[in-house]
Amino acid sequence: MFGGWDAVVLARAQFAFTMSFHIVFPAFSIGLASFLAVLEALWLWTGREVFINLFNYWLKIFAVAFAMGVVSGIVMSYQFGTNWSAFADKTGPVLGPLMAYEVLTAFFLEAGFLGVMLFGLERVGHRLHFIATLMVATGTLISAFWILSANSWMQTPTGYAFNADGQFVAADWLKVIFNPSFPYRLVHMVLAAYLTTALVVGAVGAFHLLRDRHLAGPRVMFSMAMWMATLVAPIQILAGDQHGLDTLEHQPVKIMAMEGHFTSHPDGAPLILFGLPDQAAGKVKYAVEVPKLGSLVLKHSFDAPLAGLDTVPRENWPPVPITFWSFRIMVGMGFLMVGLGLLSLWARWRGTLYEFRLLHMFAVAMAPAGFIAVLAGWITTETGRQPFTVYGLLRTAESVSPLAAPAVASSLIAFVIVYFAVFSAGVIYILRMMAAPPHHGERGPSGITPAGAAGITAAASVAAGGAAR
Amino acid sequence: MTGIIDIATIWAFIIAFAVFVYVVMDGFDLGLGMLFPLFPKKTDRDVIMNSVAPVWDGNETWLVLGGGGMMAAFPLAYAVLMPALYTPVIAMLIGLIFRGVAFEFRGRTQNKQANRWDIAFAGGSLLATLAQGIALGAILQGVHVEGRHYAGGWWDWLTPFSILTGLALVVGYSLLGATWLVLKTEGELRDKAYHLSRFLLFAMLGAIGAVSIATPFLHIQYTQRWFTWPNMILTAPVPIAVAGVTVLLLRSLATKQDSQPFFLSLALFALSYAGLGISMYPYIVPQSITIWQAASPENSQIFMLFGVAVLVPLILGYTAWAYWVFRGKVRPESGYH
């Protein structure tokens, strides 16, 4: 199956595969944890039953998604050692502490409070339970902070030096953590997570509104999700543009690949809308392009010169076709999201938000758009920085473990089989839960009542400050 | 440099602590998975699951800290050991996937009679435990290092000794699982757990004995560490304490003190673990790489030490709170999902 492949390609395939599966779950659970915190806050504030029903409904889905995120995440944390040991040895002194801080400040926080969030509402009282929900939501965001800092350092390394063993060492921790691309990447990813969740929540709401537009739960969640799409999708496009300008400054070759700029344009580069980049020939075939618009977007001037890949040695070229196309898919999804947001705003203004079937169908169709955009965006940024793991400093081919190809091929096959078997089942369970609307008296995943605390009502345990018995 | 408490030594203890907390906390819930086939009744299985459902995720986080912390504090050791333990580590990860999702999935299937996620829970727990035990044995027997790389093959880990340590860990985790059930359950389920605990305790003593006898044959250094004067002042108390804990454990099993066997089993684990530490120190890759050779630059280790000093006590605090919230016996009528 992988006969002609070498260990580097196999290790890259394994990272791409396991990462693509993993990123889907955190992208969803970052947004969902915040959404749950908002729902619980609204419930505590207004006392309206619809909010606790929605909370419990999404909490069950969160539990399944979170479990899949945890187990696929453990794989990632060990893969640096198994397949990329040379990378781990060289970058461990810089990246290791960032990831250790992620574990200490985020993973433990999420895991420590998750049990109480899922099963503890009746045991600890409303206030402590809400704190637990907030801690889980905060944990997901702190986790994003550290892992994106680590990833961004690999893209735009600063604050480092080398020691006698050839390892990267930190010269200035603040410059390592707050490296040039980090703020942009963090904002872009967190907004992406929020949009991804909003589109799923909106799609589930729309799906049930198509069947019965009077259901309270679906109305509330659809309205909340559409506000999110309306407000955040345009902000995300601005954030993405800023991220792109930062990339142009620090990783111009990645931009050349994204834009398909094989040749330099001394007096204004075109914006290539579509085409087939040909890496070997060094040109974009059948290009549909708007003259000088590329320079306007990237340099904010029609005639600004832009260098192309012809100024870069070929051995430093990223795979252009993948970078070029995944970027267009991401941007396309972004504009569809803006379209959905605007359409919902128009429907809201006309007072037909819950009756406009075409809008609901559009929202249902957009359910996977966030995931597609997240994956396409990550593929853009990760293939665009090839052939390096630490940009400009450490080549991917020099990062791998000293392993024979059959070892890496076997583990890749094992992961492919296991991931499809396990995670497809999980997705089916989630879809099955989504297929039923949230109803009156919706129950959460709880129900455990060990003998010590049996019979304590929520009210009583609130009165006792959550420390009953 | 031996004898001086420097930052690399502190970090060796921190990593050892994280791994031990992992062994203690995930050990019993992996043990529950392996005992699953012995409890065919659905109500029993629900109780067993519910006794750890709120905490399993936190337990596994210690494994991520052990791995991530090692990459940060001892990157060379991480870079050498992970390829050396390639197959056991991959097998462990796959086992953990199956058993981890089983917590959420088994309540979601429509076919409640033959639940394939029960099989995933038991099989995944067994696979992960065997892999961890084998990895331990493979580390103890040493790996082939050249320069800064692992230089052996991808089956070097497989020896009779590593199989022995794999089986020993299966027995040990099962004992922790059985005594956890004694602590958390009632009635027939607990009585069965008592029987299992007694049997598993003897098996565990056999396993400790076998590994202790086999280890000195691996390297002359292990023999010298344990059986030469004056090292024996330090090493002799370990087997004596094992004997003492065993007596207490047998008594608590005989007099049915529900709250004791679990913690005494943990003490047995702590002693075995201390024994391993005595054998290995100051090597992190036995006989090849010491903790000082593998250590990160001091500024990396100090940067993290601040975080550990502040955050680990905090983590232990809220983890203890989560266990406290779900304290007491788990009853079958309180259905999960």
Q: What is the pLDDT of residue A112?
A: 86
% of chain B surpassing 90 pLDDT = 24
State the fold for domain B7-325. Formate dehydrogenase/DMSO reductase fold (1.20.1630)
Beta bridge partners of A284: A277
B82 touches chain A (CB under 8 A): yes
Residue A93: list chain B partners with CB under 8 A: 72, 75, 296-297, 300
Q: What is the pLDDT of residue A124?
A: 85
Beta bridge partners of A289: A272
A464 touches chain B (CB under 8 A): no
Tokens of A241: 């543009």
Dihedral (CA of A448, A454, A455, A456) sign = negative
* Residue among A334, A315, A319 nearest A260 (CA): A319
Which regions of chain B are under pLDDT 70? 1-5, 110-114, 333-337
Query: Backbone dihedral region of A441: left (phi > 0), alpha (psi from -120 to 50 degrees) or beta?
Result: left
A57 touches chain B (CB under 8 A): no
Mutate to test the interface with B, among A107, A142, A419, A442 (most CBs of B within 10 A): A107
pLDDT in tens, B90-109: 999 999 999 988 888 887 77
Residue B57: list chain A partners with CB under 8 A: 66-67, 70, 110-111, 114-115
pLDDT in tens, B235-293: 788 888 988 999 999 998 888 888 889 999 999 889 888 888 888 888 888 888 888 88
3-state secondary structure of A426: helix
Mutate to test the interface with A, among B101, B156, B329 (most CBs of A within 10 A): B101
φ, ψ at A402 (rounded to 5°): -80, 65
CA-to-CA dists, residue A174 to A108, A157, A178, A392, B73, angstroms: 23, 12, 6, 21, 19
Q: What is the pLDDT of residue A453?
A: 34
Which regions of chain A are under pLDDT 70? 1-5, 446-469
For the residues of A223-281, what is the DSSP string, one character each?
HHHHHHHHHHHHHHHHHHHHHHHHHHHH-HHHHHHHHT--S-BTT---EEEEEEEETTT
User: How many angstroms separate the CA atoms of A442 and A446, rounded?
Assistant: 11
CA-to-CA dists, residue A352 to A50, A200, A340, A349, A368, angstroms: 21, 21, 14, 8, 24
Q: Do B65 and A115 touch (CB under 8 A)?
A: no
Chains A, B: CB contacts within 8 A come to 264
CB B26 within 8 A of CB B63: yes
Please tell me the pTM assigned to this model. Answer: 0.87
Residue A123: list chain B partners with CB under 8 A: 325-326
Q: What is the pLDDT of residue A418?
A: 92
Q: Do B328 and A451 touch (CB under 8 A)?
A: yes
CA dihedral A205, A208, A210, A213 (to 10 degrees): -90
For the residues of A141-163, what is the DSSP string, one character each?
HHHHHHHHHHHHHHHS--SEEE-
